[in-house]
Amino acid sequence: MIKIAIFASGSGSNFQSIVEATRRGSLHAEVGLLVCDKRNALVIERAEREGIPVLVFDPKEYETKSAYEEVILKTLNECNVEFIVLAGYMRLLGSVLLNAFQGRIVNIHPSLLPAFPGKDAIGQAFQAGVKVTGVTVHYVDEGMDTGPIIAQSAVRVLNDDDRDRLQARIQETEHTLYPTVLQDLFESLKITNY
């Protein structure tokens, strides 16, 4: 079974949906590590409740991105992590992790990329008045939400939506899309490795 690390900075609802999919057996993977850059993030409590090891670090304690990514990489290797799943990790990855995990890092973003990259994609879509937005799962490169797209799911913006209602439906979509796409990806990785 493939061993994955989830990187997250916030509430961790996607972390939770991935862990639950592994427990149900619909996602054949083991979540071996949570990597988090915020000491008080709710996702840490979720990981502790699930008995999943946590690496928490404060980027301000390091002089460069490479310095803290080396620390992360060491832990990933010690835990035999084979694949990185970003789920609300609020930082760009640097060359240390990108080079070590080439083609094995994915992210989820709450818009139909390339529309509305960056922060507050849901607010951006709402402000723009689009009638359809959605969710994208994509490979990660050095840019902000720019890597090759793997899968997308559309979410309609309803006439009486406010930002919170739209966010709730987008998150619901994320929680089904991400585990499904990961399962498909891991299946195809298995095939390519044989």
Region of 12-20, 92-100, 149-157, 180-188 interacting with ligand GRF (CB under 6 A): 12-20
175 is catalytic: no
For the chain, the 3-state helix, strand and coil shares in percent, each to the nearest 5, are 45, 20, 35
Residue (of 119, 146, 149, 125) closest to 137 by Cα position? 149
Q: How many CB atoms lie within 10 A of CB 183?
A: 16
How many residues are there in the chain? 194
Residue (of 164, 118, 114) closest to 134 by Cα position? 114
Kindly tell me which of 82 and 145 has the beta carbon lying closer to ligand GRF. 145
Considering only 13, 37, 133, 181, the residue that binds ligand GRF (CB under 6 A) is 13
User: Cα-Cα-Cα-Cα dihedral of 146, 28, 171, 154, to 10°?
Assistant: 60
CB of 138 to ligand GRF, least distance (A): 11
Residues 64-103 that bind ligand GRF (CB under 6 A): 87-88
SS3 category, 43: helix
Kindly tell me which of 119 and 190 has the beta carbon lying closer to ligand GRF. 119
Considering only 2, 27, 47, 109, the residue that binds ligand GRF (CB under 6 A) is 109
Kindly tell me which of 49 and 74 has the beta carbon lying closer to ligand GRF. 49
Residue 11 binds ligand GRF (CB under 6 A): yes
Residue 37 binds ligand GRF (CB under 6 A): no
Residue 113 binds ligand GRF (CB under 6 A): no
